[in-house]
Structure 1
Amino acid sequence: MYTPRRRAKKAKKAGPLRRIRLFIALCLVVFAGLGFGYIFAAYQSLPAVGNNMRPAVSSQVFDSHGRLITTLHSDQNRLPIDINKVPQNLQNAFIAAEDNRFYEHIGIDPIGIFRAIFANLTNRGIAQGGSTITQQLAKNAFLSQEQTLKRKIQEAMLALEIEHKYSKKEILEMYMNQIYFGQGAYGIQTAAKTYFNKDVNELSLTQCAMLAGLPKSPNYYSPFNNLNEAKKRKNVVLDQMVKYGYVSAAEAEDAKNQDLGLSKSHQAKEADEYASFIDYVSQQVAKKYGDDALYKEGLKIYTTMDVDKQHAAVRAMRNLPNNYTDENGLTQPQAALVSIDPKTGHILAMVGGRGQDSFNRASMAVRQPGSAFKPFVYLTALQHDMTPDTTMKDQPVTYGGWSPKNAGGSYSGAMSLSDALAHSVNTIAVQLADEVGTKNIIANAKKMGITTLDAKDDNLAMALGGLTRGVTPLEMASAYGTFANKGVHVKPTAIVKILDRNGNVLEDSSTLEKEETKTRVMSEREAYEMTTMLEGVIDHGTGRAAAIGRPAAGKTGTTDDNKDAWFVGYTPDIVTAVWIGDDTGAHSLGDIYGGTVPAEIWRDYMSSATSDESGGDFSAPSGMERRKETASSNKSSSRSDDREEPKKKSATSEKPTTKEKSKQQTQQPAKQQADRNNKE
């Protein structure tokens, strides 16, 4: 039985709850009103379906001094084709790759959206998108590429209207004629001609799958730019076609093994000395803003490239030997050069090859580094209380059946770490790695920007550059820049600022948090000691051909049978990596070593590139005196001096024994690679 007091208590308790409910209800009404107003405003500014797309405007690319480098033309190479002439395999490949529920949804696909959200959450990043083919058509034909809520709402509204006005076949036809496929090709018919010199109705299943895989990232997946990644993407599309019942597993497997039949008449872009850098920048912009924004939205892209240094890089690369012409018409060996400002990470110059194709070896070629990897070992030693003067013994050593050899096949006894690095003594590098821990060396390399390492590299062979995959010239230059920048690694960048067609700033690197791009890897003292040791490489070690008459530091690298040759070095203001090798990795460079042609190219480029620099010396940290490495009185008979490199045959003659002894080791492949990389 309720009493007045109990009713009063109940009313007292109910009062706050009622006010909370009213507040929540009010908030919902307000938010609903705001949301409706936002959606209504987006609807009011919708373009009319059926109108032509916005007029395309060419984008412009500028160098670091504001000089126009090139214009990315908006002229579209497009040959529209009727959907009835498009083979069913190609239609199915696009649906499997882009929108498997295309024939079921109404323009937007709630199931696909929720699936994409779940995939993105479980992958802790953007694993897949939820846009349908109709939404992509709406975006490409009528809207800008800006990533805003308003644009996404408009995209969904337009998709619904497009589905109302057109049949599914018409929508698919418009989409396939609209999208960009890379190499300046818009639409499937132009793409078929560009990549295979065929009409669409002549395409094989494997060719259909490759074309369907391109829109995700046309520059990256272009077989003319990145054949291996193009094949991987093609195989993903084939697997999707199997998953959704468009082809059998046997048909897909057969298609995976078929030759792509790429057009032999394809000519890469005219041998433009800016091509590699422009391609690199284009990929960065397209990845963030989309291909349509890059080629049709009139962007103004201000880059880090210095035209004068780029000219110098191209000139230096003209001195390559011409060993032979491969089946693709490319002169071998190929080469790459990339130059960076170590303080800012700005890419100053980039050459990705001879200019005969579109593959950018500076940023995409993953190759074995040989002894150019040793500085990561020596840095880790300095972090474990050693110094350049620490003495170790160059002597025969064995680890689990593996006995690393010096290039000359002999040993010199006690020597300082400085001399060991200057003359690239293999036994001491491996002893150091064993003492300081391979995990610590790998950790340092990763902090310095090397992203191609994995768990399999956690072995002593890594100390000699015996890696599972390898490294890229861009990342090696960036890593060595950490030494030049007094122990702080700065991520490489090619773009300073981007403006839209109306002059609005889309991004500006000066507004970014600088600390996001910087990582202190070592102390100033450790960085300085590494620099002094690497100066010894040029002063009296394997890199003497790289001397430019001013303070400079660097390291040579040569792999087995001289298949890869490197020189990576720096002054206080510029760091540059040079790589030479056969594209296939199967042919020797002959008498080329890291200390010969790569060092000479580095010297020729840096002599010009540093002509406008202050020419200052490497400054010693506070409390330290300037140290200059000079030739030791210990004349190392086992040093990997480039003048002694022809003796490599006597060193490699011992390899069958070494390999036989280590066959049972779990890390055998990596150790064999290290044996192959012990030329310097």
Structure 2
Amino acid sequence: MATSKKKKRNTKKLILQIIGGIVIAAALMLVLGLGMFIYYAWKAPSFNESSLRDQLPTKIYDKNDNLATVLYMGQKRESVKFADIPDQMRDAVLATEDNRFYEHGALDFKRLTGAVFKNITGGFGSQGASTLTQQVVKRSFLTDKKSIERKAQEAYLSYRLEQEYGKNDIFEMYMNKIYYSDGIYGIKTAADYYFNKDLNELTLAESAYLAGLPQIPNAYNIYDHPEAAEKRKDTVLYLMNRHNRITKEEMEKAQNEDLTANLVERTTADRQNIEQNDERYASYVNVIKDEIKNNKEFKGKSINDILTSGLSIYTNMDMNAQQTLQNNVDNLNIYKNKYNQTGVTILDTKTGGLAAISGGRNYKDVVDRNQATDAHAVGSTIKPILSYGPIIENKKWPTDHKIQDESEYDINGNKFRNYDTQSHGIVTMRDALRKSYNVPALKTFQVMKNDSTDASYNFAKDLGLKFPTKDLGPAEALGGGAAEFSTKQMAAAFSAFGNNGQYNEATAIRKIVTQDDETIKFTRKSEKVMEDYTAYMITDMLKDVFEPYGSGYGTGIPGLNMAGKTGTTTYADETYQEYNLPDSAAKDVWINGYTPQYTVSVWMGFTKIAENGENSFVGHDEQILPQILYKNVMTEISTIDGKDFDKPASVTDIGTELKVTGTNPDNSITTDPNKPSIEYPTNTTEAVRSSNERAASSAKQTEQEAVTTEQAAKEAVTTEKVTTERTTTEKATTEKPTTETKMEQRTTETTTEVPTTELTPNEQAAKDLKAASDKAAAELKAASEKAAADLKAARERAARGQ
């Protein structure tokens, strides 16, 4: 008996202990929660009237943290007083957003309780219970980030707001602050924008639509989603009837009303916010928006809401470069007509930071396509990336590696030619690149393709240029395949050559600081993608592009060490025929150049094709237009200090040429990658070989001097012509026939054929070289005096036309 009583006492004691523990735990939780609430409230943004009344603009800072521009994002709007808001509109808003607004305090605990249960099953933030007061606070002081801290601050600031202002004042703030899509803020502006009416002129259906639009503005935008807009209107009318704000008859009548009856007709351009804060920065702002959209911290948020939340955006912008670039793009007198467009990207060569960008002439964000980030066919600018870069990286070819050029080169039945349809004999890799010959580039590409199918693809991919397939063909090697790239991508790729092989993704934003001092960092890809010897040797060869006989001659800037590559693309044969285009008409023209300080990529093209080459780059003078813009901008923004690219220890001089340190390059001539190459002897016939080489050199010089006056002038400031056609088939990418090809540099040089007799390779080479020497000697006496005079006159004219 005593034992039983003892057990009962112990059980009772245990129950009391459990209850006491629960009470204590609850008290501790309450104290802890109260403490956290006080702490978060203490950290809340300052309560001020200016934030309540106005949207917060975004400030954009340059690379030195200097304020560049401020974005207002269409906030210059009409406001409305509470007394001027019709009862019909008030009822629609209250029924939709907060029917008990005038009955509860800062928080609606009845709605909150229901939302809590739904959040338990659906996860935190899955169901909201925000009052109009809370929505005003959130849009004025806080971000959309769902967290306990933000909710605590929202509750505290809502309480403060209702202590400072009356319900009507808060309702007025809400109606002026809310977003209505298409860059429109405030109910009065929305009524005028959508229906060209004052608030008191709106029908019940129109009022219901505008009251329901702010919940998901872009999804309910009637211009983009008319069916969703009608359903949203019907939902608001239902809620108005449910809350006894309209009768059933009024609801049904309004639900049958067609919203488009009084809708203002607007084009896409009309609907955009074309009011520019500062047009010099419009292209840069466009890139900023794209980077924000792609950042996970802003996923699912409206860009308009983001940029009106008081952000401070710290960028890589060089203000001087940005202003200089857009000024030149807008005002330099270099364009053929109004359809002639351009896109330009300027990067910091060392960091890859986006120093400046121009999306086109008089560019307006959103309305205009950003030509700097749009993709275009790149032409011969791809040759260092798909042919010569990979061959140096993997095969360690020296810059004087010899390649057998041909007037016509067959790849699987497709015929390819140089821009001038001529063979230039045996050329060095340096000459082939700076003069942009097609056949040597293709042969080099084929060597890598035969050695490793993916070598060129991977080299390009590491530079940010991803082709749709790894099985690249000759069309891609000449920049006329299906793949296209933007100036932003090409600038990033070329900057790696000037940065010792270190690739940096081109980015605009360094970090963003929110209104509540939260820092959001932006990352970028940065990695070593090639050996420093590859980067330097490509750079050294590309420096010659700006020297005499280079494709960019005339674009060089005294005192500025600069490397670069020009590019030109043509149309498909049927386009020439359809539009009666002259043979010398080109579609896209490029120049990608870099110094140790800046990398600049310039593309030019037209917005549409026209008859007779009206909207084409016809002839040499028009095809160098991007070079004029490039030179002007680079001259204005660069520090002219003679600084050169750093030569790494992995590169060794061999006379005026370069080789990879530690290698012993042979003197093989690359002929056809699928056939044996000719190798010069290294034994007692060395003296004979040297003699023959000197004879060949004399022949080559004679032919160079014997070019006509017109051809010499073209050589002085020539740009290469990539005559590959932009289609996805290799057959369609072959050069235009000889009779239709544009002559841009010199006439043919002596062609050394692969021997087909029974002579040994050494004997055949000696025979061919001797024949060339004899021919040159016979022509020298008759041609030299005339050639010298013609060449001098041509160069003088070319110099005047630079």
Q: TM-score, normalised by structure 2?
A: 0.56
What is the identity, as a one-letter code, of the residue corresponding to 1:368?
A: A
Check the 8 A contact 2:545/2:565 in 1, yes or no: yes
User: What are the ranges of 5 or more consecutive residues in structure 1 without an aligned counterpart?
Assistant: 1-24, 89-104, 118-128, 162-170, 218-229, 247-257, 325-330, 660-666
Q: 2: distance between equivalents of 1:197 and 1:528? A: 63
Check the 8 A contact 2:344/2:372 in 1, yes or no: no
> Which residue of 2 is the match for residue 338 of structure 1?
345
What is the identity, as a one-letter code, of the residue corresponding to 1:482?
A: A
Check the 8 A contact 2:587/2:606 in 1, yes or no: yes
> Which residue of 2 is the match for residue 394 of structure 1?
405
> Which residue of 2 is the match for residue 672 of structure 1?
732
> Which residue of 2 is the match for residue 474 of structure 1?
488
Q: 2: distance between equivalents of 1:311 and 1:55? A: 33
Q: CA deviation at 1:38?
A: 8.9
> Which residue of 1 is the match for residue 636 of structure 2?
608
**Closer, same or farther in 2 for the Cα pair 1:645/1:553, shift >3 Å?**
closer
**Closer, same or farther in 2 for the Cα pair 1:149/1:675, shift >3 Å?**
farther
Check the 8 A contact 1:565/1:593 in 2, yes or no: no
> Which residue of 2 is the match for residue 442 of structure 1?
457
> Which residue of 2 is the match for residue 144 of structure 1?
142
What is the identity, as a one-letter code, of the residue corresponding to 2:58?
A: S
> Which residue of 2 is the match for residue 580 of structure 1?
604
Check the 8 A contact 2:546/2:556 in 1, yes or no: yes
Q: What is the CA deviation profile of residues 595-645 of structure 1, one whole-angstrom value per residue up to 9, with x for unaligned ones?
A: 6111121111112222x3543112210153468679x96889999968667
Partner of 1:544, secondary structure, is: coil
Percent identity between the aligned chains?
Answer: 24
Of 422, 425, 432, the residue aligned with 2:434 is: 422
What is the identity, as a one-letter code, of the residue corresponding to 1:506?
A: T
Please tell me the root mean square deviation across aligned C-alpha atoms, in Å: 5.7
**Closer, same or farther in 2 for the Cα pair 1:313/1:134, shift >3 Å?**
same
What is the identity, as a one-letter code, of the residue corresponding to 1:425?
A: Y
Q: What is the CA deviation profile of residues 583-602 of structure 1, one whole-angstrom value per residue up to 9, with x for unaligned ones?
A: 34774133467961111211
> Which residue of 2 is the match for residue 375 of structure 1?
384
Check the 8 A contact 1:477/1:575 in 2, yes or no: yes
Partner of 2:375, secondary structure, is: coil
> Which residue of 1 is the match for residue 279 of structure 2?
272
Q: CA deviation at 1:259?
A: 10
Partner of 1:274, secondary structure, is: helix
Q: What is the CA deviation profile of residues 472-517 of structure 1, one whole-angstrom value per residue up to 9, with x for unaligned ones?
A: 1111111110001000011222234544457x461467xx7xxx63
Q: CA deviation at 1:518?
A: 1.3
Q: What is the CA deviation profile of residues 570-590 of structure 1, one whole-angstrom value per residue up to 9, with x for unaligned ones?
A: 011211111111134774133
Check the 8 A contact 2:380/2:478 in 1, yes or no: yes
> Which residue of 2 is the match for residue 624 of structure 1?
651
> Which residue of 2 is the match for residue 352 of structure 1?
359
Q: 1: distance between equivalents of 2:532 and 2:381? A: 21
Q: What is the CA deviation profile of residues 16-45 of structure 1, one whole-angstrom value per residue up to 9, with x for unaligned ones?
A: xxxxxxxxx9xx999998996798669978
What is the identity, as a one-letter code, of the residue corresponding to 1:617?
A: D
Of 374, 379, 397, the residue aligned with 1:365 is: 374
Of 589, 592, 605, the residue aligned with 2:617 is: 589
> Which residue of 2 is the match for residue 178 of structure 1?
178
Q: TM-score, normalised by structure 1?
A: 0.65
Check the 8 A contact 1:271/1:356 in 2, yes or no: no
> Which residue of 1 is the match for residue 502 of structure 2?
488
Check the 8 A contact 2:495/2:599 in 1, yes or no: yes
Check the 8 A contact 1:457/1:467 in 2, yes or no: no
> Which residue of 1 is the match for residue 758 of structure 2?
none
Bigger Rg, which one: 2
Check the 8 A contact 1:350/1:362 in 2, yes or no: no
What is the identity, as a one-letter code, of the residue corresponding to 1:596?
A: I
Of 516, 534, 537, the residue aligned with 1:529 is: 537
Q: 1: distance between equivalents of 2:192 and 2:620? A: 40
Partner of 1:338, secondary structure, is: strand
Check the 8 A contact 2:552/2:565 in 1, yes or no: yes
Partner of 2:356, secondary structure, is: strand
Q: CA deviation at 1:469?
A: 4.7
Check the 8 A contact 1:313/1:605 in 2, yes or no: yes
What is the identity, as a one-letter code, of the residue corresponding to 2:419?
A: A
> Which residue of 2 is the match for residue 124 of structure 1?
none
Q: 2: distance between equivalents of 1:626 and 1:195? A: 71
Partner of 1:569, secondary structure, is: strand
Of 425, 432, 436, the residue aligned with 1:413 is: 425
> Which residue of 1 is the match for residue 71 of structure 2?
72
Q: 2: distance between equivalents of 1:642 and 1:190? A: 61
Q: 2: distance between equivalents of 1:675 and 1:507? A: 51
Q: 2: distance between equivalents of 1:624 and 1:646? A: 28
What is the identity, as a one-letter code, of the residue corresponding to 1:276?
A: S
What is the identity, as a one-letter code, of the residue corresponding to 2:604?
A: I
Check the 8 A contact 2:136/2:177 in 1, yes or no: no
Partner of 1:429, secondary structure, is: helix
Check the 8 A contact 2:283/2:363 in 1, yes or no: no
Q: 1: distance between equivalents of 2:590 and 2:446? A: 25
Check the 8 A contact 2:344/2:601 in 1, yes or no: yes
Check the 8 A contact 2:566/2:719 in 1, yes or no: no
Q: CA deviation at 1:142?
A: 5.4
Q: 2: distance between equivalents of 1:490 and 1:382? A: 21
**Closer, same or farther in 2 for the Cα pair 1:67/1:621, shift >3 Å?**
same
> Which residue of 1 is the match for residue 563 of structure 2?
553
Q: What is the CA deviation profile of residues 356-404 of structure 1, one whole-angstrom value per residue up to 9, with x for unaligned ones?
A: 5333635432111111121111211212214222222222223333323
Alignment of 1:187-336 (within 5 A): 190=189, 260=267, 262-263=269-270, 269=276, 272-285=279-292, 288=297, 291-297=304-310, 299-317=311-329, 318-324=331-337, 331-336=338-343
Check the 8 A contact 2:180/2:214 in 1, yes or no: no
Q: CA deviation at 1:291?
A: 3.8
Q: CA deviation at 1:335?
A: 1.2
Q: 1: distance between equivalents of 2:37 and 2:479? A: 61
Q: 1: distance between equivalents of 2:587 and 2:412? A: 27
Q: CA deviation at 1:413?
A: 3.0
Q: 2: distance between equivalents of 1:531 and 1:186? A: 52
Within the alignment, does 1:61 sit opposite 2:60 as a pair? Answer: yes
Q: 2: distance between equivalents of 1:476 and 1:579? A: 10
Partner of 1:442, secondary structure, is: helix
**Closer, same or farther in 2 for the Cα pair 1:180/1:439, shift >3 Å?**
farther
Q: CA deviation at 1:445?
A: 2.0
Q: CA deviation at 1:110?
A: 10
**Closer, same or farther in 2 for the Cα pair 1:55/1:198, shift >3 Å?**
closer
Partner of 1:186, secondary structure, is: coil
